[in-house]
Chains A and B, each alone.
Chain A
Amino acid sequence: MARIIAGISASHVPAIGAAIDNGKTEQPYWQRVFAGFEKSKAWMAKAKPDLVIGVYNDHASAFSVEFIPTFALGCAAEFPPADEGWGPRPVPVVKGHPEMASHIAQSVILDEFDLTIVNKMEVDHGLTVPMNLMFGSPKEWPCPVIPLAVNVVMYPPPTGHRCFMLGRAIRKAVESYREDMRVVIMGTGGMSHQISGPRAGLINSKFDKAFLDNLTKNPKKLARMPHVEYMREAGAEGIEMVMWHVMRGALDDKVNEVYRFYTVPASNTAVGHIILENKRRATGKSKSARKPTHKAGRRAHK
């Protein structure tokens, strides 16, 4: 049986990608950002997942306004880096996992998540920047990645709760896969930022830190936050953070927060990052490691 061992969230600021691609990571400004991910890379190297599910959003690269899927699951064998206007990023082609992806599609659609299946797609910095932050810049990515693109560009994106429940459904799908696999799920985007209009440049560290706290400890309540609160408190584009709920929904209710990093700014954005591990379980083959979704009487909070 496959299982989700951990969830990660990380901002996907395009300027971070540009700093990597243009060899600026040693500059003091960028050093501050990259230093925060040294431990994360070490964690990832040790965790060695067999698969990453990458929840991200496209920025007018693969999807224009011709069609705007709310949830689009990448089922292809590979996803080339998109040309975002200055040539494709010099990163390896992202290899997918069509077998698991189609299994997830089948399972979550029957669980009433009507997602779009994408068999041909290029991926932009939204996915590849967090991959760099977690894997560094290898010649080939060390494991396959299934991209799940979420619309957060056109309002309204799916609600936080919907994202959380999709995470739940993805977990159920993963746990019913026929092969043993250790899976990491990654939410990307955020944290507070606004890059459009006269209020551009908004950063709200207080909001961001509370969001990180609640993501670990109080995820169900956090997932109920209305969209207007993200936009008001964390900036119009801060609403990207709904994608983190997909990651959180795929994890246990109670998790170990193993690492956190937060810094301001990276170009126009606050950078936030967290690693949450599911508690280790006995990996007995016969025993189902699935926990009941709701633990009656033991809810930490309502």
Chain B
Amino acid sequence: MTRAQHDYDDIPGTFVFDAERSRQGYGINMFCMSLMKDANRKAFKANEAEYLKKFPLTAEQSAAILKRDYNRMLELGGNIYFTAKLGATDGHSFQHLAALMTGSTQDDYAKMMLAGGRSIEGNRSRTKKPSPGKAKSKPKGRSKKGSKRRG
């Protein structure tokens, strides 16, 4: 089934957690929510695939969780405030997850934030060219060193 098209689909590098994704990702988010309890974290860690069977997840969703493919989780209906609980269960800081999602190293990501964050220039639209006069600022963010995408 294809997703309905929305004006915000044009925003690059962004999976908006809308009502449709909320419906599709209910299992992902309820799984993540379960990790608020220590007993559940332990059960999950003891046998991840088995634990996931308790939730209504598609094969794709389970695979994304097991692979810790955070962007894929978002695409399939996970929400960042929920998936962050999985990251915390793995002992990762939020910045680690953010770096992972951007394909950057944590170090590079941290440096980018300290330098003022990812520039909006060149990051507004998938389809539209940046408006003239504004297009000159250097493309920021995607650092070369950060190519080893994990997950």
Binding site for B on A (CB under 8 A): 14-15, 59-60, 64-66, 68, 83, 85-86, 153-156, 192, 194-207, 227-228, 231-233, 236-237, 264-265, 267-268, 270
Contacts and interface: CB of A to CB of B under 8 A. Distances in A.
Nearest to B28: A65
Given A155-B16, A197-B71, A200-B98, A232 B114 contact: no
Interface string B101-123: 11100000100111011101001
Given A155-B19, A201-B117, 18 more contacts: A60-B81, A64-B30, A65-B79, A85-B35, A153-B81, A154-B18, A155-B8, A155-B17, A196-B15, A196-B74, A196-B79, A198-B101, A199-B102, A199-B123, A199-B141, A200-B13, A265-B114, A268-B117
A211 to B, nearest CB: 13
A65 B141 contact: no
B42 to A, nearest CB: 14
Contacts of B15: 196-197, 236
A165 B72 CA distance: 37
5 contacts: A60-B32, A199-B141, A204-B120, A205-B116, A228-B7
Contacts of A206: 120
B53 interface: no
Contacts of A192: 117
Interface centre among B19, B71, B102, B118 (most CB of A within 10 A): B118
Nearest to A236: B14
Given A197-B74, A198-B103, A202-B118, A268 B80 contact: no
Contacts of A200: 13, 98, 101-102, 118
Nearest to A203: B117
Nearest to A155: B18
Given A83-B36, A198-B103, A236 B117 contact: no
Contacts of A154: 17-19, 22, 79
Contacts of A236: 11, 14-16
Main secondary structure of the interface of A (DSSP, over half): loop
Interface in B20-66: 22, 25-26, 29-30, 32-33, 35-36
A226 to B, nearest CB: 8
A232 B79 CA distance: 18
Contact of B109 (A86, A201, A231): A201
A41 B37 CA distance: 36
Interface in B85-105: 85, 88, 94-95, 98, 101-103
Contact of B8 (A15, A228, A237): A228
Contact of A232 (B17, B80, B125, B141): B125
Contacts of B26: 65
A150 to B, nearest CB: 14
A264 B117 CA distance: 8
Contacts of B151: none
B45 to A, nearest CB: 15
